[in-house]
Amino acid sequence: MDTILVVDAGPSCVKFQVYSVEGEGRLRQQLKGRVDGLGSGPRLRASGPGGNPLAHRAYPIEAVPDVAAGMDIAGAWLRDELRIDPIAIGHRVVHGGPDHDRSVLIDHGVVARLERFTALAPLHQPHNLAPIRSILARFPMLPQVACFDTAFHRTRAAVADHYAIPHRLYAEGVRRYGFHGLSYEWIAKTLPRIAPKIAAGRVIVAHLGSEASMCALSGGRSVEGTMGFTALDGLPMGTGPGQIDAGVVLYLISEKGMSASKVHDFLYRDCGLKGFSGISNDMRELEASEDASAKLAIDYFVYRVGLNAGMLAAALQGLDAFVFTAGIGENSASIRARVAEQLAWLGVKLDAAENVRHSQLISSSASLIPVYVVSSDEGLMIARHTLALLMDGNLKNPRHESAS
């Protein structure tokens, strides 16, 4: 059976999924798993398509010190115990830079170019690339595909792509990229099945999770969004501030004496819901808290979602639907209800019962704008891109003695 392995590596976790390739290019998830707790308490956990447990193992800290070692653990388990020998591996890579508007076959040159964007996605890019390097070194003939979170947004018009800075900086790559593209692409491709008339129109998608952003879709294409040069921009996130006056950064350097590296760590790790509340970066903990600062942090989050919805509606010159996705968007009925209140001026009205049931359509029949909850499947999106390159003949399909 031909399979495709999908890898999504982060700072302390390597997520993986295996898809079987079936007739007419269909993909079916066979298993999903993760090696997490890297640097603290490493564990391998995996389950089959029905949720049945396949593995749950703990390892000494020194045995799995980093992402590459985590990938080695996962690969050895897949290869030696499940006899899985994928025909290709698809990787989520957060930043593709200005040159990549689609998925690409990986070689050493591609990796070298992608390393240049590490400073623009420091929490993800180095970890995305670590398993790629490891597999390239051990199995150089095994096809690997990089699927970019920035690629989906490269269709935007020049006015949405630029900052008001000298063009030479734009030419160097200082521009508004946008992120979470694999999630938005999944929504864009799923909506025609859910609501075909709406899918061809003007849609705002709110990807609300520990990392949060919003995207304006017109005819299924990205035309504007909340994130820009880096994933720091736009909505407040778990530990990132979202939109912030550049003067604040200058103040931290000139008045607080912070070095560039300290400002970097501060913005990426100590702001957002965590910094605002002083309690947690987890929306679930904030919603459960009676602390006034937790309530204000939630108020701020909801307010900024509503504010940015207005901006995106203006970019679209109207609105035909609103979609919630990602962890908070899919699971928090209270946040959805509060965001809907912010959108009442657009004619949005929720059906409270459907919202609490986490139904797909949660707006009432009286709502001028339908509101949906759609689960995103970035893993399957990556597998599809990888298979598409295989089927187009852009990847060789050798069999190898092992997979990772």
The catalytic residues are 149
Residues 62-92: b if buried by 16+ CB within 10 A, e if exposed: eebebbbbbbbbbbebbbeebebbbbbbbbb
Give the distance from CA 102 to its chain's centroid: 16
Q: How far is CA 4 from CA 88, 125, 390, in A?
A: 5, 22, 10
